[in-house]
Copies of this chain bind each other. A is one copy, B any other.
Amino acid sequence: MTPQPTQTPTEPTTLDSVVIRFCGDSGDGMQLTGGQFTDTSAFLGNDFATLPDYPAEIRAPRGTMFGVSGFQVHFSSHDIFTPGDTVNALVAMNPAGLKANIEDVQPGGIVIVNEDEFNTTNLKKCGYPQDYNPLLDEQLTSNFTLVCVPMSRLTREALTESDIGAKAVDRCRNMFALGIVYWLYERPIESSVRYFEEVFGKAKSKPEIAEININALKAGYYFGETAELFPSRYRVLPATHPPGLYRRISGNKATELGLVAAAQKANKKIVYASYPITPASDIIHGLSHLKHFGVKTFQAEDEIAAVCAAIGASFAGDIGITGTSGPGVALKSEAMGLAVMLELPLVVVSVQRAGPATGMPTKTEQADLLQSFFGRPGESPCIVIAPCSPSDCFMMAIEAVRLALLHMCPVIFMSDAYLANGAEPWLIPDMNDIPPIEVTHPAPLTSPGEDFLPYKRDLETLTREWAIPGTAGYEHRVGGLEKQAETGNVSYDPDNHHEMVRIREEKVARAVKTIPPLEVRGPDSGDALVLGWGGTFGSITTAVDQLRAEGRSVSSAHLRYINPFPSNLGEVLSRFKTVIIPEINLGQLRMLIRARFLIDAIGINVMRGRPFNVEYLTQRISEIMDDSSKGQDR
């Protein structure tokens, strides 16, 4: 259905990879546009990574700077790990979008704008001086390949036959823009056409909506072809991915699916109790559709109620899970201490955002790591793990559930806004390859037997038995007061307390036995090891791979299990002269590593609410490697 070229075009330029960013008003449908472009690129076999960037406001007044919404797609013919530092092509639907994003465009990059929106009102709304129009500015026209398209007008003209109303028609501009871009990068329009047919054509039975969007898309495509606005078309060949079935997946979706998969593998039901909060809410949204998978979702009155309900659910034999972001974790911290004491399975999904306090709720950050370690009174150890990419959220969510069930303790799953919303292609695993998670509960006693000792422990793992209500003969009480070893009765005995504190610590430490060792990417010794955790995997890997390609003696390693550390961590670190730890915080993992291994790990710490800029990272790593003085990052 993609229109066949009517004239022989000039041969397209082949590129390795391209970063394109769509931007415009919150109401301009940029997230949808970016998503469609991503899907199409996925079907073409490109590797990709995305970075949605939307404001905290729902829909700030049209045309203002606060209302700018963006979606960046990096697509490539080779393996990529990040959404890209600089933008090769920017699509700006209005002046505010242009203003907010132009500085990220590479010199000479393509800038496609909807010139119809560059009117006096809009220019003023985003704070340009009177009588100034950036489109006429030498700066812009000389530094970039500026392509001005009257998209509003052309869209309206393309849809004159529709009698659906001006508002709906105007809302199709984004598809006109997408059409242009599809043409520019030689992408077929089929996949998007199918999308509109399915979503509006059937489900919501609004075939007219499907139709106008499809027509706008086509019109944009034809316009690209006809208008000869671009010096060249570009081609990005498919990447050589391993064979198999793929899908696009974001971190939040992968987390949702991972939790469900884990529950199925454990043959257990889930109670996911949560209170909405950006950027974690998607997970409860998704799970609330999955009741037939034994998933019960509970929107609690607050985060405290949510974690307490999860604890109650675990006491009663389901898997209690609660999801939130940093401020919610703070509220849950008292109850998490209770879960430590009760020794019940609990998964806390913490999707980090930029803090402190309300901070920048839609932006990413890694500054809640120490909160997850220490944000509770008393010695209150939890297992802490962190996925390293959107798709990794799937396996790590399964790990979270597995570890919580196996070790009867809270597991904190540290995602972040970048992972949560970013997407990448995912080679879908065969569910049969995922091993079952074994859980046992004592069976009812048929005759009155021995007294049940709720805090008697497995000698290997130090976990206690999980006897659940409804099981005759296993009636017992748990509570937050210190408990006598074995009986679980309240005890204020000094030595017992000391012993119990040690046991709880040791129990978590023993989880090391079932977690995989840390793997090094690159040579396993050398001048420098760049160590990361969580959502920075992509940037670090890209930077270090590049430096290694340039011949530097540097490897990278990424911690997905943080408490306990993998058993080989100390040994790995010892094989490198310098250890560099980039984090989107002021050095939280660095502190843990320094304290534990007494090595002078150097941090790279930038907190801009975004993933690391790979170029900056590369440069800082080299500088640190060069610099014998090894000063800390600014």
B-binding residues in A (CB < 8 A): 55-56, 325-327, 329-331, 333-334, 337-338, 340-342, 352, 354-363, 365, 367-368, 370-371, 373-380, 479-482, 492, 494-495, 497-498, 501, 504-505, 585-586, 591-592, 594-596, 598-600, 606-610
Please give me the residue from chain B that is nearest to A610 by CB atom.
B494
Complex Cα gap A37–B142 (Å): 90
| Residues of chain B within 8 A of A497, CB atoms compared | 354, 359-360, 363, 607-609
- Interface pair B363/A378, CB less than 8 Å apart: no
- Interface pair B331/A334, CB less than 8 Å apart: yes
Q: Which of B327, B352, B376, B606 contacts A337 (CB 8 A)?
A: B327
Please give me the residue from chain B that is nearest to A304 by CB atom.
B331
Complex Cα gap A497–B358 (Å): 12
- Interface pair A374/B376, CB less than 8 Å apart: no
- Interface pair B329/A331, CB less than 8 Å apart: no
| Residues of chain B within 8 A of A325, CB atoms compared | 377
- Interface pair A609/B375, CB less than 8 Å apart: no
- Interface pair A377/B329, CB less than 8 Å apart: yes
Q: How many copies does the complex hold?
A: 2
Q: Enumerate 17 A-B pairs (CB-CB under 8 Å) in ascending A order.
A: A326-B378, A331-B334, A337-B355, A338-B358, A342-B357, A356-B379, A357-B480, A358-B481, A362-B492, A363-B494, A367-B379, A371-B376, A371-B377, A375-B375, A379-B585, A494-B608, A591-B595
Q: Which of B358, B376, B379 contacts A330 (CB 8 A)?
A: B376
- Interface pair B333/A482, CB less than 8 Å apart: no
User: How far apart are A55's CB and chain B's nearest CB, in angstroms?
Assistant: 7
Complex Cα gap A376–B330 (Å): 6
| Residues of chain B within 8 A of A608, CB atoms compared | 494-495, 497-498
Q: Which of B327, B586, B610 contacts A505 (CB 8 A)?
A: B586
- Interface pair B357/A337, CB less than 8 Å apart: yes
Task: Give me 11 other A-B pairs in contact (C-beta within 8 A), A356-B380, A357-B480 excluded.
Answer: A337-B357, A356-B379, A359-B497, A362-B492, A367-B378, A367-B379, A371-B375, A375-B375, A494-B608, A497-B607, A598-B600
User: How far apart are A249's CB and chain B's nearest CB, in angstroms?
Assistant: 26
| Residues of chain B within 8 A of A363, CB atoms compared | 492, 494, 497
| Residues of chain B within 8 A of A377, CB atoms compared | 325-327, 329-330, 352, 355-356, 367-368, 371
- Interface pair A330/B375, CB less than 8 Å apart: yes
| Residues of chain B within 8 A of A504, CB atoms compared | 356
- Interface pair A358/B501, CB less than 8 Å apart: no
Complex Cα gap A238–B494 (Å): 34
Complex Cα gap A485–B596 (Å): 36
- List 10 tightest A-B contacts by C-beta distance, closest first: A355-B378, A326-B377, A356-B378, A494-B608, A358-B480, A357-B480, A370-B374, A356-B380, A595-B595, A330-B334
- Interface pair B355/A379, CB less than 8 Å apart: yes
- Interface pair A376/B375, CB less than 8 Å apart: yes
| Residues of chain B within 8 A of A505, CB atoms compared | 586
Complex Cα gap A505–B367 (Å): 13
Complex Cα gap A367–B374 (Å): 10
